[in-house]
Copies of this chain bind each other. A is one copy, B any other.
Amino acid sequence: MSFRLSATPLDPAALQRALVDVRAGACVTFEGWVRNRNEGQAVLALDYEAYALLAEKEGAKIVAEARMKFAVLAAHCVHRVGHLPLGELAVWVAVTAEHRGAAFDACRYIIDEAKARVPIWKKEHYAGGATAWINCATRGDHADAIRPVG
Contacts and interface: CB of A to CB of B under 8 A. Distances in A.
Interface of A: 12-13, 16, 20, 22-37, 86-87, 98, 100, 103-104, 107-108, 111
Mostly, the A contact residues are mixed
The 3 closest A-B pairs by CB, nearest first: A25-B35, A27-B31, A22-B36
A22 B87 contact: yes
A28 B13 CA distance: 14
A25 B16 CA distance: 20
Contact of A30 (B16, B26, B108): B26
Most B CB contacts (10 A, CB to CB) among A35, A36, A86 go to A35
B25 A32 contact: yes
